[in-house]
Structure 1
């Protein structure tokens, strides 16, 4: 790699400035293709599905090359304390944005269950909407909404697979913490072992979630078309599953980086960032388990 560009800070330090990169432009193009293809797919256009998958494949390739450049810059020693601080602040704000992302979905669940459903049942209104607009509607949760959109369905018991998945994620939070402490103690084999266990637990979680979805569609008639309950259930659990998938991919990348000896006990923010993200995923699942499955 060519000599790294740098700029001087007010205290006389040197701050790494990356080279001009073509990856943001290419990523924007493939992201546009992805969303265009998804819109076409939803509208049953013949070109929609292939365009979507071309966009996804292109995004994956771009991200691989882009992060490879960042890793190369890191192992080449270009990053100093100030760059490390910038990365940390960036990860903090990224996780904060994810909190707001899930907060919006939990807010939708709260609104539907606590506000909209009682109003449709006639609560707090001089006019009984269930009598005049939706005769026979019962404001009871879980609900397919007025008109029983999607038909009758059954919910998934909290104390089956959801509880098992909760224990799996809690255990994965322990294993990644042990791996982190092992990294700081420079016990490489222990790092690889417990990081590998974390990856395995993430994969098992995803396997059981797929099994749960199959059971919901095949046996319980619980689908994304099952009114407001089906929509919020699959929206929350589905996006969480997508985050677990992303987190597992990140863990796999970090495992290979640990295998190649990229991290030291003083310099391993990439490991810490993935650990922060994984703990965030754990906490979201605990909230989801409580408000979607239990309450």
Structure 2
């Protein structure tokens, strides 16, 4: 059992080295596959499998330690700080991509159109280029395309994610109030809303490729569109998986009114995903 003032330090664990091997194998195989060696994709998949084994094993160890009462308030504080820094790193991750969008839209495209220091470039290289957004570049890379209207699926997905932020908050309050049925119901609703969001995003991508000719090859607009929405969709997927795991943990009674940081950490992450989508909806779809 944990003692106040005694910080729990686990014994030697195999999971860090297993994770390192899996990560190296995944990147090594992916690098060769991207460079045209098709057989190396199986090496990448093997690395991903090792990473999944590591994640299940390591998280399982942490859960057993937590249930076993090995963590005290100091360890809880460490977990909270770790999650805060992780979310901060995610803020920087998306900040870089939003920065690329703003740089291309507010600086590069006007320069290519002749503004400021780009006057010579415009006159000599692309005198026929008009600085307008969205654009696929001076050479019309990828051909003509249409943008995704914001008031259809994107607006619906915005409402879905905002609703999921409400349901996860209600579930959190239910956990603190000891209302397990309400907790499980609203947590399940959050997972369902996230899955519905992903369904409509997949439908949106099919529509973009088959009817709008909006692809990754559609110049700077296409690349930034899919880069931002795609990575966000990946984060929604990861968040939905984590919420599903938390649902099973709640069903097993792993959390109580006072000790439930595992739930809180996932809730923090989900709220972060919601906020990122609001910025993405405004700057990618509306403006």
**TM class, shorter-length:** over 0.9
Q: Name 2:76's counterpart in structure 1.
A: 84
Q: Is the 8 A contact 1:30 1:55 kept in 2?
A: yes
Relative to structure 2, which stretch is displaced further, 221-230 or 175-184?
221-230
Deviation at 1:41, TM superposition (A): 2.0
Count of residues in Structure 1 that have an aligned counterpart in Structure 2: 287
| 1:120-158 Cα distance to aligned partner (Å, 9 max, x none) | 111013734233112411111001112111111111000
Of 190, 199, 211 in structure 2, the residue corresponding to residue 207 of structure 1 is: 199
Matched, 1:44 2:42: no
Q: Is the 8 A contact 2:112 2:119 kept in 1?
A: no
Matched, 1:102 2:94: yes
Relative to structure 2, which stretch is displaced further, 185-194 or 118-127?
118-127
TM-score, normalised with respect to structure 2: 0.97
Tell me the secondary structure at the aligned position of residue 49 of structure 2: helix
Matched, 1:141 2:118: no
Deviation at 1:50, TM superposition (A): 1.4
- Structure 1, unmatched stretches of 5+, are none
Where does structure 1 differ by over 4 angstroms across 4 or more consecutive aligned residues? none
Q: Name 1:218's counterpart in structure 2.
A: 210
Question: Higher helix share goes to which structure?
Answer: 2
Tell me the secondary structure at the aligned position of residue 141 of structure 1: coil
Q: Show the 5 A alignment for 1:1-295.
A: 13-125=5-117, 127-295=119-287
| 1:146-185 Cα distance to aligned partner (Å, 9 max, x none) | 2111111111000010000000000000000000000000
Deviation at 1:61, TM superposition (A): 1.3
- Pair 1:86–1:126, CA change in 2 (3 A): closer
Q: Distance in 1 between matches of 2:40 and 2:147?
A: 33
| 1:19-46 Cα distance to aligned partner (Å, 9 max, x none) | 1111111111111111122212211212
